[in-house]
Structure 1
Amino acid sequence: MEHSAVDPWPEPEERAAEAALRPSTLEEFEGQPRVSDQLGLVLSAAKHRGTTPDHVLLSGPPGLGKTTLAMIIASEMGVPLHITSGPAIQHPGDLAAILSGLVEGEVLFLDEIHRMSRPAEEMLYLAMEDFRVDVVVGKGPGATAIPIEIPAFTLVGATTRVGLLPSPLRDRFGFTGNLDFYEVDDLQSIVTRSSAMLGVGLDEASAHEIASRSRGTPRIANRLLRRVRDYAQVNNQGRVDLALTRAALELYEVDPLGLDRLDRAVLEAICTKFGGGPVGLSTLAISVAEEAETVQEVAEPFLVRLGFLMRTPRGRVATEAGWRHLGLTPPSSGDNPDLFT
């Protein structure tokens, strides 16, 4: 089944559109002032010393700007950027090939770093500290480790699940930035900036409407903006107003709180098929015809953040607020003792 218009893992053509809207400097990077200020200090100090910046670990949900910050770090330091991901590095040789090909001062962006294999991870420890990798030649008692010096580089690791990183790896990062969900005002500024770059005549009320339905995530805000633009173009409209924006978002099944088709399907399944819960993740995923990982990573965190769903030791439970958002009457606690506890 296809993901909805607010799926946080975009298709390649969506990535290209998003890349054009990315801020290119820390001054343009809105919504994360604490991380921006701290990272700016790290980069300025490195420039002053004439050295490569400390390794940087960025954590937070998808779509908040981890990749953008990696690009900004390389741009601010005036060095190349090499992008790869944890799932692509399953053997130490994969990592050794990447590291040996870096140039002096280059930024290596390692997305989903928590999904890197353990043998490659252990090789990364030495590379981060001593800028050296040991390549093992041969097998068994006759195996020989050949040390290979690599240029000084800055590793920028990104993860959505920082708890899965082992302590030895986390401790080797000189700076850790935790990205939080954005406030509506910050998202409104991002939407306004993006609309100007896309040539969309967007008024303030429409920008606020898009921002308020974007789940605190710039990637989703920019995607909804592009869908509103498409709707306006197809309907031969000029300037985008609030009525048109709401009509477009309704067409794409994004409700006033930002819930999309998958969110509502999950919530409705818990309430109508399972009496409010508790229900296990795999059963819930089957009931909405989605992968369990998609339900857990895409829909569940947002529903929990809104207070519409709870995780309990026995499974997922819809809250009273979740029932009422769907226009349903919640059962009393006597009908289901697992509810509203």
Structure 2
Amino acid sequence: GLITKPLRDRFGIPTRLEFYSVEELTEVVRRGARLLELTITEDGAREIAARSRGTPRVAGRLLRRVRDFALVAERDSVDAVAADAALTRLQVDNLGLDIMDRRYLACIGDTYSGGPVGVETLAAALSEPRDAIEDIIEPYLMQTGLVQRTPRGRILSAAGWKHIGLIPPPTADAAGQMDMLGGKE
């Protein structure tokens, strides 16, 4: 989003950056653990990788925090249970969403009945700059299908509603609108 088209075109290779797979990130986590001299099981590495939002930098950050928890708990190695416990205490859920992501989803779901809601309104409601919402929070939520961007604003998808544990309101169809206007059923 922030790289201009002329700069991208200068390299002559049209490319698009994609999120890493869990398998690729598992290898990143295992390599990071070796560099940190941390013993980690395959399932422990996979647990961290699965919550890394498809990004190696996030995987490294989570690995360092899990290592810190392991050191405090005087654990010799990190397995899936230890990784899950540490990440749960850090409030990183099974999709890799953090507190801010869940606040964003809850704001759309609770405050704005699932949307549509404009990004400026969301920025004001969350006390976050618009750029932070568009560049940091939304890309992963859209990639995972939890939020959709429409011409009228952001809306929660069915998966978004499910993830925050709320039931979506009934959709208004043409027949329902006619009922409200006193038309035939």
Rg larger in 1 or in 2? 1
Alignment of 1:328 with 2:175, yes or no, is: no
Give the partner amino acid of 1:244.
Answer: A
AA at the equivalent of 2:51: R
Structure 2 CA distance for aligned equivalents of residues 225 and 306 of structure 1: 22
Pick from 28, 48, 57: which aligns with 1:219?
Answer: 57
Question: Where does structure 2 lack aligned partners over 5 or more consecutive residues?
Answer: 177-185
The CA deviation string for residues 97-145 of structure 1, in whole angstroms up to 9 with x for no partner, is xxxxxxxxxxxxxxxxxxxxxxxxxxxxxxxxxxxxxxxxxxxxxxxxx
Shift of the 328–200 alpha-carbon distance from structure 1 to 2, 3 Å rule, reads same
1:165 Cα shift?
Answer: 2.4
Structure 2 CA distance for partners of 1:177 and 1:314, relative to 1, 3 Å: closer
What residue number does 2:89 align with?
251
1:173 equivalent in structure 2: 11
Check if 1:267 corresponds to 2:98: no
Tell me by how many angstroms 1:175 deviates.
4.2
Residue of structure 2 equivalent to 1:208: 46
Which residue identity lines up with residue 132 of structure 2 in the other structure?
A: T
Aligned ranges 1:1-341 → 2 under 5 Å = 160-162=1-3, 164-166=4-6, 169-334=7-172
Runs (5+) with no aligned partner, structure 1: 1-159
> 2:75, 2:35 → 1: CA distance?
18
Q: 1-side partners of 2:34 and 2:98: how far apart?
A: 26
Q: Deviations over 1:210-254 (max 9, x none)?
A: 001111100000110000000111122221122111111011111
Aligned residues: 174
User: Compared with structure 1, are the counterparts of its residues 170 and 332 closer, same or farther at alpha carbon in structure 2 (3 Å cutoff)?
Assistant: same
Give me the whole-angstrom Cα distance separating, in 2, the residues matched to 1:318 and 1:196. Answer: 40
TM-score (norm 1): 0.49
Q: Which amino acid aligns with 1:250?
A: T
Q: TM-score, normalised by structure 2?
A: 0.88
Partner AA of 1:192 in structure 2: R
In the TM superposition, what whole-angstrom CA distance separates every residue of 1:141-163 from its partner, at most 9, and x where no partner exists? Answer: xxxxxxxxxxxxxxxxxxx444x
Indicate the SS of the match to 1:178: coil
CA displacement at 1:178 relative to structure 2: 3.2
* Cα distance in 2 for residues equivalent to 1:311 and 1:175: 28
Partner amino acid, structure 2, of 1:296: E
Report the AA paired with residue 289 of structure 1: S
Distance in 2 between residues matched to 1:300 and 1:171, nearest whole Å: 26
- What is the rounded CA distance, in whole Å, between the counterparts of 2:119 and 2:89 in structure 1? 29
Question: What SS does structure 1 have at the residue aligned with 2:139?
Answer: helix
Q: Compare the two structures and name the one with the higher helix fraction.
A: 2
Q: Cα RMSD over matched residues?
A: 1.7
1:287 positional shift: 1.4
CA distance in 2: counterparts of 1:322 and 1:333, whole angstroms: 16
SS in 2 for 1:263: helix
d(CA) in 2 for partners of 1:171, 1:319: 34
Distance 1:332 1:234, change over 3 A: same
Q: CA deviation at 1:174?
A: 4.2
Measured after TM superposition, the shift of residue 270 of structure 1 is 0.2
Note the C-alpha offset of 1:208: 0.3
Q: Secondary structure at the match of 1:222?
A: helix
Percent identity over the alignment?
47
Separation (CA, whole Å) in 1 of partners of 2:89 and 2:124: 26
